[in-house]
Amino acid sequence: MTPPERSGGVFSALFVEIYVVIAVWHLAPAVPGTIAVGIETGEYSMTKFKKLALLLSVATAFTSNAAFANAGQASGSEILVSNGRVETAVFGKRPFMRSPRLSPDGSKLAVMMSRDGTDNLGWLDLNIPGGKPNFFVQAEEFREAGDRMVSSWRWVGNKTIVVTLASRENINGQRGDLQRLAAYNIETGKMTPIAWENAGADASDILYVDDEKETILIQRDTIKDRDYKGNPEVIEVNVITGKYKIVQRPNVEVTGWFVDGKGVVRAGAGSDRGSGKQRLMYRSDANGAFNTVQNVADTSFTGTQIYPSIFLDEPDMAYATSNKDGFRKVYKINMKTMEVVGEPVFGLKSYDVGGVIANDDDNQLAGVAYTTTRDKTRWFDGRRAEIQRLLEEQFGKGNVVLGSTNDAVTKIVVFAGKAHQPGSYYLFDTESGKLNLLGHYHPVLKDMEMNPMDSIRYKASDGMEIEAVVTYPRHRANRKNLPVVVMPHGGPFGIRDQEEFGFFPWHQAMAELGYVVIQPNYRGSGGYGREFVKEGRKPNGYGKRMQDDLNDVVSWFSQTGLIDKSRACIMGWSYGGYATARGAQRDPDLWRCAIAGAGVYDMSMMNRWDEANLSSFSAKFQDTSDDPEGISSARNTDGKWSPILIVAGLRDARIPIEQSRTLVGRLKGSGKKEGVDFRYVEQKKGTHNLPYEDVHIEWLVEAENWLRRFNPAYIASDPDKELPVSIKASAN
């Protein structure tokens, strides 16, 4: 399992996630007592998980000390839910805490906390009993300007917190992302800009950290004499003084650099915007010249290229992942020849590997991250494997994630919870064997067990087997002929749903209302091998066969007796919003209602936008259909439609607001009446990622109201009745 900071898939281009949405974490007051867990220490090579943040979508880190809880979480006894349900708005609440990071010596913690819906970054001295967090950045203070945020943070040494600042700006009429680093010194209270001079769009990519020297290697593109250089340089920066020097000059073929565990730039990658060819250049050591070892285009957009993940001390050897045999596995690679050496190091029969986790020295494999029905880790590090095993004896198999550690790996922050729980945080001391409860992720739900989940494989109408995540309404004892909400994920390609509470627990919100919620990982979804993605990318995939997969959910699950096929609605965001509107237009007799957010409704219009704003090659990531106008709901507004709720963010930088406005205009032009056949909600502060609590809650409450109007969860013939609300968002 993974902490709920995985964001839902967005309607992305060449990369899987264009925008990073970092989840939030919550701590409650620590309870008296500890759980003693015996750990037999040994001479194992330990890890700091420098790459774990990348593998688990943002950062799989946690936190400690009850003082955080006292800063904002309401205390109270355990919530009882047998006499009522949770209010829908609760599921839109921002968690209280996110991505806590231990300092190298384990004495301090840096963490983001949400107070009254606003994020604040602070730090805490763990050696001071009852100490209070020291806040130094308010992450959302620029809300009025648009998408601006503190997107990540980490320690460099024991007195400096390096912060990544991200913003979306209008530069000379063009939307652009700017990212910068700043170093906060906890002793002086001074914030130092890191290499902002001559910085271009992105000066935030940390490639290497030396905690002892208090230096970092970062790559950045530059603007010098008003001349923008998109090919990045690599610089070494002292985070105390802000002084830096160039260690790798730009290369016209390179847009991203790779560094080994000693801080040596070993490889560079770049792509041709027209042909899509992705070049990889490599050298054996710091004194060698870079030579091209790979230069191919991934025309299938299934991630066929190989890039080094861990450089080994063995000459020219690295660990990397590849889907060359269908499913992504871990291999040892000869970087000079790009040939696989030996058999796969790790792989699964029916699922892709997610990525690798390096050891402390970044020169060996410590673990592999992967997802089956939940996120998991296969540890090659013996001590971590033993710690994981012992903690799972306490919390249950699959319910534990090892997170942030100190350098000595004597302190580990642990996230624990079942798939249908928000989860809780613990601090594990390997020397004393004590496991202290730190607090809970969610500000209201705490460690409540919510609506149970399961993964079920169903047969599509063409015989293909598809996995779906099913969430059952916990208040309904009779699982027969229940109303259903089908919830397709965003992306669509390369993304998938799994059993988890998640950063966007919409499935839990709708299940709490009394609906079965089914999240199908339709063909084209990620994690099930290269061929499964290619099935969705066929010319008849988008809006046709992929849409059939959603319809087949209703047919298959109704045959099991679980759902009533006459009581089905569809709901989704981003690509899910597209599929929702397409369902309302194409299959109005199947869907009693539709709830679409941030969707694409005119594919031809969107393809033109992508080509102009991305590249001709990148635009092909979404442009797969042989019938773009035929699969566009906004081009087919005549005739019968399911009643549809349309929600869009005015500041959405991925899907232009014109998409939703075009659909609304054409619905009106076809005689559809607003308030009767459709409802349009334009969120003035909304973006593609629902970053603000009030905007997120509005989306969920609007969905609830639309469902109640057109497909109520409880009807007169049901053997049960709706429970009153007993837990409200204002409870925090």
| pLDDT tens digit sequence for 310-359 | 999 999 999 999 999 999 999 999 999 999 999 999 999 999 999 999 99
The answer to whether residues 431 and 466 belong to one domain is no
pLDDT at 76: 31
The answer to whether residues 423 and 506 belong to one domain is no
pLDDT at 149: 79
Sign of the C-alpha dihedral computed for residues 192, 103, 99 and 492 taken in this order: positive
pLDDT at 174: 59
Residue 319: which H helix or E strand, with range?
strand 317-322
The answer to whether residues 475 and 365 belong to one domain is no
Q: Is residue 10 part of a domain?
A: no
The answer to whether residues 385 and 463 belong to one domain is no
The answer to whether residues 363 and 478 belong to one domain is no
pLDDT at 114: 79
| pLDDT tens digit sequence for 208-251 | 999 999 999 999 999 887 788 889 999 999 999 999 999 999 99
The answer to whether residues 430 and 466 belong to one domain is no
Q: Is residue 3 part of a domain?
A: no
Higher pLDDT, 730 or 600: 600
Mean pLDDT check: name the lowest of 18-22, 232-236, 498-502: 18-22
**CB atoms closer than 10 angstroms to residue 14:** 19
What is the total count of domains within the chain? 2
User: How far is residue 400's CA from residue 414's CA, in Å, rounded to a whole number?
Assistant: 7
Higher pLDDT, 207 or 5: 207
State which of 375, 407, 440 marks the end of a domain.
Answer: 440
State which of 410, 440, 470 marks the end of a domain.
Answer: 440
The answer to whether residues 218 and 326 belong to one domain is yes
304: CATH: 2.130.10.120
Q: Is residue 187 part of a domain?
A: yes
pLDDT(417) > 50: yes
The answer to whether residues 192 and 328 belong to one domain is yes
pLDDT(53) > 80: no
pLDDT at 173: 58
Instruction: Name the average pLDDT for the chain.
Output: 86
Which of 534, 576, 557 is closest to 484 using CA atoms? 557
The answer to whether residues 413 and 460 belong to one domain is no
User: How far is residue 362's CA from residue 614's CA, in Å, rounded to a whole number?
Assistant: 34
pLDDT at 94: 87
pLDDT at 302: 83
Q: Is residue 27 part of a domain?
A: no
Whole-number Cα distances in Å, 732 to 22, 81, 122: 21, 16, 21
Mean pLDDT check: name the lowest of 50-54, 257-261, 345-349, 451-455: 50-54
Higher pLDDT, 482 or 111: 482
The answer to whether residues 141 and 290 belong to one domain is yes
Q: Is residue 488 part of a domain?
A: yes
Mean pLDDT check: name the lowest of 16-25, 111-120, 721-730: 16-25
Q: 89-98, 112-121, 636-645 — which one is most confidently predicted on average? A: 636-645
Q: Is residue 145 part of a domain?
A: yes
Q: Which domain holds residue 475?
A: 453-710
Q: How confident is the model at residue 64 (pLDDT cuts 50, 70, 90)?
A: very low
15: exposed, middle or buried (C-beta count within 10 Å: 0-12, 13-18, 19+)?
exposed
543: CATH: 3.40.50.1820
| pLDDT tens digit sequence for 181-201 | 999 999 999 999 999 999 999
Q: What is the DSSP string of 704-718?
A: HHHHHHHS-S--TTS
| pLDDT tens digit sequence for 115-153 | 777 788 999 898 888 888 899 988 764 455 445 678 899
Whole-number Cα distances in Å, 309 to 257, 363, 365, 386, 527: 12, 10, 10, 25, 19
The answer to whether residues 41 and 173 belong to one domain is yes
Q: For tokens 């008849």, what's the residue? A: 540
Mean pLDDT of 534-543: 94
Percent of the chain with pLDDT over 90: 70
Beta-bridge mates of residue 485:
517, 569
User: How far is residue 432's CA from residue 428's CA, in Å, rounded to a whole number?
Assistant: 9
Higher pLDDT, 229 or 551: 551
Interior/surface letters 34-49, b for 16+ CB within 10 angstroms, e for the rest? beebebeeeeebbbbb
pLDDT at 636: 98
Higher pLDDT, 379 or 167: 379
pLDDT at 389: 96
**CB atoms closer than 10 angstroms to residue 172:** 6
Whole-number Cα distances in Å, 417 to 78, 200, 421, 447: 16, 42, 6, 8
pLDDT at 71: 42
Beta-bridge mates of residue 389:
none
Mean pLDDT of 68-90: 58
| pLDDT tens digit sequence for 703-725 | 999 999 999 999 999 999 999 99
Sign of the C-alpha dihedral computed for residues 71, 76, 81 and 85 taken in this order: negative
First vs last C-alpha separation in the chain:
26
| pLDDT tens digit sequence for 241-294 | 999 999 999 999 999 999 999 999 999 999 887 888 999 999 999 999 999 999
CB distance 183 to 194 below 8 Å: yes
Mean pLDDT of 642-661: 94
Amino acid at 167: S
Mean pLDDT of 675-701: 93
Non-local (6+) Cβ contacts of 291 within 8 A are 281, 282, 283
State which of 416, 440, 464 marks the end of a domain.
Answer: 440
The answer to whether residues 287 and 334 belong to one domain is yes
Mean pLDDT of 483-501: 96
Q: How confident is the model at residue 517 (pLDDT cuts 50, 70, 90)?
A: very high
Q: Is residue 725 part of a domain?
A: no
Whole-number Cα distances in Å, 77 to 395, 426, 444, 475, 724: 21, 19, 11, 22, 20
pLDDT(419) > 80: yes
Whole-number Cα distances in Å, 206 to 122, 200, 556: 21, 15, 48
Q: Is residue 632 part of a domain?
A: yes
